Amino acid sequence: MGRVIAVTNQKGGVGKTTTCVNLAASLVATKKKVLLIDLDPQGNATMGSGIDKNAVERSLYDVLVHNVPIAEVSVHAENCGYDMIPSNADVTAAEVELLAIEGKEFRLRDALAIERAEYDYIMIDCPPSLNMLTVNALTAAQGVIIPMQCEYYALEGLSALLETISQIQQVLNPKLEIEGLLRTMYDPRNSLTNDVSKQLAEYFGDKVYRTVIPRNVRLAEAPSHGMPVMAYEKQSKGALSYLALAGEILRRSD
């Protein structure tokens, strides 16, 4: 059965979508079969995978609200090598409509029940807020990857996220665990970066990935071309870092 991993942080701009797209592509490069679910109505992971969010016939909305099977909604992202459940503005309506549906927290988990056997990894790109969409992701997942910048406000947001994860574990998904904390946009020349990084290591120990994702121009440019950085510039520091992260995740799961 494939491992379902939610990539989440209530703070925006920390590299959730960048991590989802590039980690998924890196896992594909290691011969794993991957499904990426874009849970954010902005559809950035969809566009960053080379899929026009405005042209898709079906989206995550149909899965969550109308129980359309994942297999009927998924599209293959040619530039990336993985399958994808696209998202667009329709998913905003799903968040509202879910409130009136019984078992609303479990819609994504139930939809993935059959598909888990088809994939090695299922990655979920969460929106930058704690809403019913994120609750669905955390209820469906076995693991959580938390991308974060090493800055003061990131630590404040992290404590709130950990409280949320704890509540989900107690009420909805006792199997949920923190897969790892990923330091993104990392600049070792910055003293605050080093201080926060040290605090994370002291508090979370092995849960902090050894791999760090540096600030990298190619990593920032790749989404505008609708491809992961590996396809855009495979020798860039960003591409090599996400390949290293994929390797670290695979070693941990052995």
pLDDT tens track for 63-100 = 999 999 999 999 999 989 999 999 999 999 998 899 89
Nearest by Cα to 139 from 104, 186, 189, 87: 104
pLDDT surpasses 90 at 17: yes
Angle between the N-to-C axes of helices 132-140 and 90-98, in degrees from 0 to 180, rounded to the nearest 10: 80
Total Cβ atoms within 10 A of residue 164: 17
Q: Please, are residues 218 and 239 in contact by the beta-carbon 8 Å criterion?
A: yes
What's at 117, amino acid-wise?
A
Mean pLDDT over 152-162 rounds to: 80
pTM for the whole structure:
0.94
If you search the block for the tokens 């979370």, which residue do you land on? 204
Whole-number Å distance between alpha carbons of 37 and 7? 10
The residue among 189 and 3 whose pLDDT is bigger is: 3
Of the candidates 250, 176, 246, 186, the residue with the CA atom closest to the CA atom of residue 213? 186
Containing H/E element for 37? strand 34-38
DSSP tag of 10: S
R_g (Cα) of the chain, nearest Å: 17
Average pLDDT for 22-43: 96
